[in-house]
Chain A
């Protein structure tokens, strides 16, 4: 049976499922409850300078009937007295010595860093996480993402911390930056023990149509929030990959954060090299109980593939993430419709006709509603298979025989790339496109009978 325990940069935990520094880790009560529920670690809600929070703090992006596909907040770091937090931390670490109880910190001056590090070490913290991410409020005071966005400042602070700390240090990065490797390098150069990412993405989740103010509305006004939840996972995965493929950063352990909710999310993060994961929104949405699903799913995955520990497959997808120019231009897939599964919604038809390559035909009048692929026109873009509401109904079938392999890079080296306006070697040359005027004839079916 799989062994889920980890040693993350010297921080040991019974499993890689940690709660991210956020409201679910606001108190000792919550963290103990989470450990009881099965979480392996928790990064305490960021401690630091005293704050005051507003009321009306969260907003969400709902998609159809899915609540909180994206989630946004304008909350600051912990507004509870440091003393209370430390007392509770001491109790948690005493009762759960084998769990990864990590203190997230955000202060300003070197002296403050030195002092607070000492205090959390005394309280038994297994590690420290540096919050350089908060993109609202704290950054206006020169902390949080103001640091995360300035690699020079970040490096200096991490150096202070590394000087002062005797327990492992995780530097938490902000995604609000063009190249995540810049702050990543700064952290590594300052000798951080590990990195975690992402913190929240600067965002406005929506505008209230009555007050004309952004959500969450605070007495008629709003401010940019930090976006997280399922919607940000793709951004986070990409940044994780950037770090894990960077020659100087890749050996630094990364705790993956952003939109993690299910075992699949967890596996994807590990495949791109994360060796612990942190969760906030999913726990805020469903409570601590969701960890049951993550754990059961991860175990099943590992048992089926014969992995003993997560290190057996950590980073396994990295070699397959490459640059566009190394993709095989000779590879060819075409859509195929399984007529037994098709329900006849014709969404694939209209998607391809209006949004892709006019490669799907409707049946003749009176011949039902199952469309067909016009293979000559299909460029294999996948769109139809993505819009099809029936799982596995449209599949993309490989058409080339696999014998040829030619990339843009190889073609460039062979001086065989299109490089003039009307170059015959361009991809779309000779590809069928209907005459523009046909659009006017193919108007929506005659509705005059109604």
Chain B
């Protein structure tokens, strides 16, 4: 394997993590946009969780109204630029484009979207301003896509907004979790700055809300509270040997990678446990970091994996080897990891050697945090229950959205939920 050399500097890192959906140039955008049929009740639009008027913005790009296109996008989705590159468009808008029905490549909607949004971000073209102050205050916990979208929408409606964020950067997993070849840190943060500069919400970084006192304080100080806390750290699996050196949680590994790039430690022989999109990402990323052997081990069959096919193919393309029907039973090693013992459904056991294990076996739920809030009902998967029209929880002062209510989906879902919740808050406080 070793298709990728270990990156020694930022340039080599960027080369290994080359952007999958690079920015279109004006000529590409012109020709691509000319293909759109302007479908009636367009299926691409119906497939977008935020309902962006896709035929409209594509036509606007084509007629040279790129700023108008960006406005159409942001009116529906406050993370319009991030979504253009990180959304799984193949299963959303682009997957629904009518061209697919004729085996003609669908419109490259995501890249066209970025063409428009990147243009206004780069030129710092302000398109929104806060609504007239209505004297009400909302607290938002978590500056992920859901929290940011909620903040933006609330500001346009005239609310004062304070976001409390445990980490030091905004956008949640968009900057800390998504694979680096989908979007760069700079690009994520540029959009965050662009939004905050226009709408002026406050973000209090490094301010995790973890105690009952803090919660009570927020309840006293604010008219409503939005929970956009996402999911937690990688879940503990009670696997013997899980505490050995060289065993990492996928979310933590990826965060390290996003923050430290080529300086992130990656072993030579890496085993990634799991079959979801996070597992695919972690495996791809290990390969791109120059590990000589990356194995993706999943307990079920290939077909049963939760990951999108295209994500698995991307990993295989990066040199990852898939091993199926392999349930890990023990992590081996004397202090440091040296291998993983697996069991097949047939009962057969086998060992694979390695010097690093990445557990991509799910993120922990925020259950203990949620228990700080009175009357907040959760479903059997520890997701906050909300009214789907308003995103209001069972404690009327609390609204919620994003991974905290869907158990882990996409940025675009968070963006949609935040917007919906803001409108719900507005309706409730009026």
Q: Using a CB–CB distance below 8 Å, which chain A residues touch chain B?
A: 64-65, 341-347, 349-350, 369, 389-390, 444-445, 447, 449-450
Contact = CB atoms under 8 A, between A and B. Distances in A.
B98 interface: yes
A343 B98 contact: yes
Contacts of A369: 43, 98
Contact of B102 (A349, A350, A390, A444): A390
Contacts of A447: 51
Given A344-B39, A389-B37, 12 more contacts: A65-B34, A343-B98, A343-B99, A343-B101, A345-B37, A346-B40, A347-B37, A347-B38, A347-B40, A444-B41, A449-B51, A450-B76
21 contacts: A64-B34, A65-B30, A65-B31, A343-B98, A343-B101, A343-B102, A344-B43, A344-B101, A345-B39, A345-B40, A345-B98, A346-B39, A347-B38, A347-B39, A347-B40, A349-B40, A369-B98, A390-B102, A444-B41, A445-B41, A447-B51
A145 B67 CA distance: 45
A64 B62 contact: yes
A450 B99 contact: no
A445 B43 CA distance: 12
Secondary structure dominating the interface of A: loop
A444 B46 CA distance: 13
B50 interface: yes
Contacts of B99: 343
Contacts of A64: 34, 62
A11 to B, nearest CB: 42
Most buried by A among B30, B34, B50: B34
Contacts of A450: 50-51, 76, 416
Interface residues of B, number: 18
A227 B76 CA distance: 43
Contacts of B62: 64
A65 B50 CA distance: 29
A207 B50 CA distance: 38
**4 closest pairs, A vs B, by CB?**
A450-B51, A65-B34, A346-B40, A350-B40
Contacts of A350: 40
A346 B41 contact: yes
Interface in B198-217: none
A108 to B, nearest CB: 45
A344 B98 contact: yes
A40 B51 CA distance: 58
Contacts of A390: 102
Interface of B: 30-31, 34, 37-41, 43, 50-51, 62, 76, 98-99, 101-102, 416
Nearest to A349: B40
B387 to A, nearest CB: 13
Most buried by B among A343, A346, A389: A343
A444 B42 CA distance: 12
Nearest to B52: A450
A343 B39 CA distance: 10
A65 B33 CA distance: 9
Nearest to B64: A209
A68 B98 CA distance: 28
A441 to B, nearest CB: 16
Contacts of A341: 102
B79 to A, nearest CB: 15
Nearest to A393: B102
A350 B42 CA distance: 12
A64 B36 CA distance: 10
Nearest to B98: A343
A449 B50 CA distance: 9
Most buried by B among A65, A349, A444: A65
A37 B351 CA distance: 72
Nearest to A354: B40
A398 B25 CA distance: 48
A363 to B, nearest CB: 12
Nearest to A209: B64
A202 to B, nearest CB: 27
A110 B287 CA distance: 86
Nearest to A388: B37
Nearest to A448: B389
Nearest to A66: B34
Contacts of A344: 39, 43, 98, 101
Contacts of A346: 39-41
Contacts of B102: 341, 343, 390
B409 to A, nearest CB: 16
A447 B53 CA distance: 11
B418 to A, nearest CB: 13
Most buried by B among A345, A347, A389, A449: A345
A444 B50 CA distance: 17
Contacts of B39: 344-347
A390 B101 CA distance: 11
Contacts of B41: 346, 444-445
Nearest to A63: B34
Nearest to A350: B40
A442 B384 CA distance: 37
Nearest to A450: B51
A406 B25 CA distance: 59
Contacts of B34: 64-65
A447 B42 CA distance: 12
B164 to A, nearest CB: 28
A64 B30 CA distance: 9
Contacts of B98: 343-345, 369
A68 to B, nearest CB: 15
A347 B51 CA distance: 19
A220 to B, nearest CB: 22
Contacts of B40: 345-347, 349-350
Nearest to A346: B40
Contacts of B43: 344, 369
